[in-house]
Amino acid sequence: MIHVEHDKLILQICALVVAIVAAIIDVRTTKIPNVITFPATIIALIMRALFGGFGMDGLLDGFLGALLGIFLTYFGGGMRKKMYFGDSKLMMACGAFLGWVNIIIVMMYFSICWGAIAVWRIGTVIPWKSIIGSVFAQQAGGDLFSPEDAKKVQARMQALIPIGPAIAVGVLITELFGQQTLEFMGLAK
């Protein structure tokens, strides 16, 4: 049992390292390269097959995690329009390391983080002082935003959000609180 826990910890550390490296690259380039995601997925599946206590069950768990990771992010929820395939491949690699149950939890936490990042980014360009003054001006028939402010907000809303950092935070939160999350949801074994 101790050996299995040790192997699980190694897989978790590997997933976190891959996610952090990908997040740093994503912030700098808005791309997550295949040279990280594909080898990480293959290494994860090999590790799951070879580590003591996992064997074919571990390989199957990793394979299902990889499939769910790519499926949930690319095909689920209409995210194709907001994500590039690199983000889906990063979730595939993390799913291969963490397994199918944990990648669902990662998806939940990363979605929350992604939403918070999006709200923060929009909040930083909204001219709050102008809006407060404009509310009164709008009652008198004026516009809520000046054309310049409206362009800034529109440009920020259309700008790409690197999703890698949100995925990395989702992996970290899952590794720290995944079991508690399952217990809270009534799904713990």
**CB of 162 closer than 8 Å to CB of 118:** no
What is the sign, positive or negative, of the torsion defined by CA atoms of 25, 27, 28, 31? positive
For 101-146, the pLDDT digits (tens) are: 999 999 999 999 988 988 888 777 777 666 666 666 555 555 556 6
Q: Quote the pTM value.
A: 0.81
Residue 85: per-residue pLDDT: 85
> Which stretches in the chain have pLDDT values below 70?
1-4, 52-55, 76-84, 128-146, 149, 189
What CA–CA distances, in Å, run from 136 to 128, 132, 141, 148?
13, 7, 9, 19
Distance of CA 24 to the CA centre of its chain: 13
- First and final CA of the chain: distance in angstroms? 16
